[in-house]
Amino acid sequence: MAKQLITVTINNKLTELYVDPRESLADMLRNDLKLTSVKHGCDVGECGACTVVIDGENFDSCIYLAIWADGKSITTVEGLASLEGELADIQQAFVDDGAIQCGFCTPGFIMSTLPLLNVEEDLSREEIKKQVSGNFCRCTGYTNIINAIEHTREKIKNDRDSDK
């Protein structure tokens, strides 16, 4: 099938590329752009291993066509660390809290947490669990993942308060 030109901002970089209209966004990110934090788990929207953030919302990139990304802004885990290589708060919290074992689910979980990290209102543990309920982890038992999200939100809140 004839390839199609799309323009998309990926990790803050404006990118133009030709994609096959049958290609999933997960394939585009992994194969064309080598952003291999995006994992193929189930490939049918069940596990969340392929989660990326598109215009502020989390999506399963395995069931999202690459052509749909035209004109959108996408974040993957590769876009989180600073240019000097310093981990983002949420990444550091996953390390510190022991929220990673085999690590296969980790990029997807981190992407699903992004939309709520900066939400200012208090969120209950249940609300946080709901936000990651489309992400499966076969190793950790989830508790440390939820802890890491809570600790990151606390840190962001403290940073915000000390700025005021």
Ligand X SMILES: Cc1cc2nc3c(=O)[nH]c(=O)nc-3n(C[C@H](O)[C@H](O)[C@H](O)COP(=O)(O)OP(=O)(O)OC[C@H]3O[C@@H](n4cnc5c(N)ncnc54)[C@H](O)[C@@H]3O)c2cc1C
- Using CB under 8 A as the criterion, which residues of the chain lie in contact with another protein when the complex forms? 1, 20-24, 27, 43-46, 48, 51, 57-60, 63-65, 67-68, 70, 112, 130-135
| Part in contact with ligand FES (CB under 6 A); list of ranges 1-9, 87-95, 137-145, 155-163 | 137-145
Check binding of 46 to ligand X (CB under 6 A): yes
| Part in contact with ligand FES (CB under 6 A); list of ranges 27-35, 37-45, 70-78, 148-156 | 37-45
The angle formed by the CA atoms of residues 164, 145 and 108, to the nearest 5 degrees, is 95
Among 19, 28, 29, 49, binds ligand FES (CB under 6 A): 49
Helix H or strand E segment including 156: helix 143-163
> Rounded CA gap, 114 and 7, in Å?
23
Check binding of 102 to ligand FES (CB under 6 A): yes
> Rounded CA gap, 127 and 61, in Å?
23
User: For 3-46, what is the HEC assignment?
Assistant: CEEEEEEECCEEEEEEECCCCEHHHHHHHHCCCCCCCCCCCCCC
The footprint of ligand FES (CB under 6 A) covers: 40-43, 45-50, 60, 62, 100-105, 137-140
